[in-house]
A and B are shown apart, each in its own frame.
Chain A
Amino acid sequence: MANFVVQTSTKKGYKLDLQTGLFINNEFVAGAETIDVVNPAYGETICAVQAADKEQVDQAVDAAHKAFYGGWKEAAPQTRQKLMLKLADLMERDAEELAQIETLDNGKGISMSRNVDVPASISTIRYYAGYCDKIHGKVIDTPGSLSYTRHEAIGVVGCIIPWNFPLLMLAWKLGPALCTGNAIIVKSSELTPLSAIKIAALAKEAGFPPGVLNIITGYGPKAGDALARHTKVGKIAFTGSTLTGRHIMKAAAESNLKKVTLELGGKSPSIVFEDADLDQAIKWTHHGIYFNHGQCCCAGSRIYVQESIYDKFIAKFKEYAENTRVGDPEDETTFQGPQVSQTQYDRIMSYIETGKAEGATVFTGGERQGDKGYFIQPTVFTDVKQDMKIMQEEIFGPVVAIAKFKNLDDVIEKAHDTTYGLAASIHTTNVKTAIQVSNKLEAGTVWVNQHNVLHPETPFGGFRQSGFGRENGEYALENYLQVKCVKINIGADL
């Protein structure tokens, strides 16, 4: 009987036993085909993983269905809490291994994996573990009836997660889905499947009953589509591109009208007012675009700088960008590693060419970095116009466009000139500006004097075509619950 474990090690010699099977009903099993997993720092294959097609999705859904109706639905909240806390403890025990896997698979710097991705994932699971026994309905006074609401689990839910924060995006879904008592099928990204499979092993070790959590690697059009169409799945949660998001919504509509939440793309503006602390604004807007190699849905990919400080800003920003530590993800000093794949690399480079063709100026960067792996120089475009593709379309790479604005009305108009509405940041020392502009901006998260700062306690999600539904915080719970109203007749005879 195959055990699907592949032994490998990182370039620096960290040994890994990589599980590569599909996780269905607490077992690692074969898929319909295999997918090669590539290390983006070198363009080399790490291993092959099992990949699911419709048949395996059906198996996973059946397992989840059986688990939910076979006891998970009636399990005490404290049972769920105990399992989730145990999972968090095991993630903490294996934190270094998770960080190494994430860096190997995704290419993000080992310091990022260790200090951001893994701790945030653990905190998220712990946060939601605390909610298990705190899901309250209401009692509502009505004449003639005792009326109350129950907030009940949906049952079987599907989650489709992206490759940019593989572990963290998994935690963002598992947390609320598990604490509300659902049984889950997760389709991870075919580009970065490894950390999710490790979590599957930890979930089994923690004692989750078979079928409660199923994790399958697979291609979107095959496994993802099958999951979005399955009539026993009551809800689908998707994080990824707006294009695929539409597809998921369509699949839900064409099948069983399952509930849908979508966490999609963005083209978020960072707005720097003349009264901003300039040094901090440079650092935060730099972080806003180049963090995670620009592969953030909420990246501040358009920077609007007030006219009076524009020249000073771009000169300093250029210097800061050119000093970005781009390098081997296994190097602890690396801030920016490679882009995740050849396809993404090609796409980003193509946008750079488009930007040039549209008449924008490459102020710095614009080229590949090195000759191995998918590294791109931190790139800045200036002399940009609102209607340029590089100002309207999500590039998802280390490429930022910087433009000027005159005054508040001008910049609000420019900020809103987009189909997206995921996030925004404002850089100012004036409290009135901070509040008024936060009130006006049509975005799901507005940062003041920072960017890309998230906590499991606060909700995250988009306006407009950046999606709908909120992740994190108490708000995420409602995505995985349905409200039932019970009305008991207390004395109204016909």
Chain B
Amino acid sequence: MSLPDIQTLTLPNGKTIDTHTFLFINNEFVAGHGPMIDTVNPTTEEVICSVHSADESDVDAAVQAAATCFETTWRKVAPAQRGRLINKLADLIERDIEHFAHLEALDNGKTVAVARDIDITDSVACFRYFAGWADKIHGKTVDTTFDKMCYTRHEPIGVVAAVTPWNYSVQMPVWKLAPALAAGNTIVLKSSEVTPLGILHLAALVKEAGFPPGVLNVVTGYGHITGNALTKHPLVAKVAFTGSTATGRRIMESSAASSTLKKIQLELGGKSAQIVCADADLPHAAAQACQGIFNNHGQSCNAGTRIFVQEAVHDDFLALFLEETKKLKVGDPFEDGIHQGPQINKVQFEKILGYIDLGVKEGATIALGGKRVGTKGYFVEPTVFVNCTNNMRIMREEIFGPVVCIGKFSTVDEAIALANDSEYGLAGGVYTKDVNVAIKVSNEMHAGTVWVNCFDVFDQSTPFGGVKNSGFGKELGKYALLEYLNVKTVKFQLMDI
């Protein structure tokens, strides 16, 4: 006998919380035809519940719903009204912030406090930011010759497929939903099969806010089944993907091979460098750099996972950095005072431990950590490697865990060269008091974001997105809108009849 859509889960403190488990298509929660997927609590290693996943027929139903909605309904809704609906959605998410935070802590393993004060708070702010853009999307009139009248329309693309990862399982979808909706598109979202729960509650709020059926559809599922069907679907006009570089490549290839060419946006991996100069405020740099790598348990595409320290201050900086790292308490995400919960699942956990072994074999030295914490749950100690050189695999490959690699440099030019010597180019940072060094490094770093005297600092209004194998396209800020619009030129010829 199959279970209903809404399941009741028990939290560690004994309280219960409800979650949806079905697919969300055309404003209804419906059963899926793909395999049932167990979602695991990484703190306890136990199954939380099973969710439905989408097969090709479900994906088709979702895309058809989105396409029909776009043509018949959503494109006729006034821009200011789109803005109002998005603001209403933001209000509802804010209302349910605790609910979201608890689902995230259960499903992803990040602490309740971080989920509430960062992930969901920023998601609300993201929707509010883009709600304000909905009625401010302007084309241009362009003077050519006097017998013509020419202008551009910035039009929505149509049906957008969004494929999102597990590291910020509500916030990463929101970064796509917000600009896509503001620009007037409809969406089919394939969330991560590893963390499916939070986004299903957001879907329920989309209905409650009053969005017409079909504007947002959520199809949980595996990449090779659901993701594949979605990114190949002929009615999908654009694919926005955040995840690994390997999967990003596959999506680009499948889009090129599919019946309709799609606009693509990829937000991929990184191996971002933090450069600490001799004149930096070292205690400040140590604190910022520590957050820069260990936030979200090191599971951030933009984590500052390579730190290059100017020789003269290497030992002093390292001492301060280790002190900061030791302050990080690893433990149950539902407990107070915890900074770092478990890694997301067994696969990632084993991968990270594997890289730690590799680092030692490659000749780097463990200055702190390096081991599992406890015996249950995928907990890894915040780990610091020193004596790292840029040719080591631990310096070149994305580990996606709480592992930082520290190396040295002598001149600023050398540091920039080391930072740029990477297949990735997502972000970077420099710590210095010298305005010339700050500007030189920001100018010369091959990265989508450069932080000066900080790291991992985000605002809704400033764009984010990498270069090289970190992908292409921007999220956040006005720039994100362009990813979800087509420019049409209209030219009237004024003729005598």
Name A residues whose Cβ lies closer than 8 Å to a Cβ of B: 77-78, 81, 85, 123, 126-127, 129-134, 136, 146, 431-432, 435-436, 439, 456-457, 474, 488, 490-491
Contact = CB atoms under 8 A, between A and B. Distances in A.
B271 interface: no
A488 B461 contact: no
Contact of B439 (A126, A436, A456, A490): A490
Contact of B460 (A130, A133, A439): A133
B15 interface: no
Interface in B451-497: 460-461, 478, 492, 494-495, 497
Contacts of A431: 492
Given A85-B87, A133-B461, A436 B494 contact: yes
Contacts of B497: 432
B469 to A, nearest CB: 26
A490 B135 contact: no
A88 B436 CA distance: 46
B135 A432 contact: no
A127 B135 contact: yes
B129 interface: yes
Contact of A432 (B136, B138, B436, B494): B494
Contacts of A436: 494
19 contacts: A81-B128, A81-B132, A126-B83, A129-B132, A130-B83, A130-B133, A130-B136, A131-B136, A133-B460, A134-B133, A432-B494, A432-B497, A435-B492, A436-B494, A457-B79, A457-B80, A490-B436, A490-B439, A490-B440
A457 B135 contact: yes
Contact of B131 (A77, A130, A490): A130
Interface in B76-95: 79-80, 83-84, 87
A191 to B, nearest CB: 31
Interface residues of B, number: 27
Contact of B125 (A78, A129, A435): A78
B149 A435 contact: yes
A435 B84 CA distance: 33
A133 B125 CA distance: 11
A411 to B, nearest CB: 18
B80 A127 contact: yes
B246 interface: no
Contacts of A456: 80, 135
Contacts of B460: 133
A131 B136 CA distance: 9
B435 interface: yes
Given A85-B87, A133-B460, A435 B494 contact: yes
Contact of B84 (A78, A81, A126, A474): A126
Contacts, number: 57
A439 B133 CA distance: 29
Interface centre among B132, B135, B138, B461, by most chain A C-beta atoms within 10 angstroms, is B132
A131 B478 CA distance: 11
Contacts of A146: 439
B436 A491 contact: yes
Q: What are the nearest 7 A-B pairs in CB distance?
A: A130-B132, A432-B494, A435-B149, A133-B461, A490-B439, A457-B135, A146-B439
Given A436-B494, A474-B138, 14 more contacts: A81-B132, A130-B133, A130-B134, A130-B135, A131-B132, A134-B136, A431-B492, A432-B495, A432-B497, A439-B149, A456-B135, A457-B136, A474-B136, A490-B436
Interface in B417-467: 435-436, 439-440, 460-461
A488 B436 CA distance: 9
Nearest to B125: A78
Contacts of A432: 494-495, 497
Given A81-B132, A130-B131, A136 B478 contact: yes
A126 B80 CA distance: 9
Nearest to A457: B135
B148 to A, nearest CB: 9
A469 B132 CA distance: 23
A129 B478 CA distance: 16
Interface in B315-343: none
Contacts of A136: 478
Nearest to A431: B492
A133 B129 contact: yes
Contacts of B492: 431, 435
Given A126-B83, A432-B495, A488 B439 contact: yes
A134 B132 contact: yes
Contacts of A474: 136, 138
Contacts of B440: 490
B307 to A, nearest CB: 26
B144 to A, nearest CB: 13
Nearest to A136: B478
A127 B82 CA distance: 12
A426 to B, nearest CB: 14
Contacts of A132: 132
Contacts of A490: 436, 439-440
A73 B53 CA distance: 51
Nearest to A491: B436
Contacts of B131: 130
A16 to B, nearest CB: 29
Nearest to A439: B149
Nearest to B497: A432
Interface string B287-302: 0000000000000000
Contacts of A77: 461
Contacts of B136: 130-131, 134, 457, 474
A488 B437 CA distance: 12
Interface in B222-273: none
Nearest to B148: A435
Which has the most chain B C-beta neighbours within 10 Å: A436, A457, A488?
A: A457
B136, B436, B495, B497: residue with the most chain A Cβ atoms closer than 10 Å: B136
A131 B133 CA distance: 8
Interface string B133-174: 111101000000000010000000000000000000000000
Contacts of B135: 127, 130, 456-457
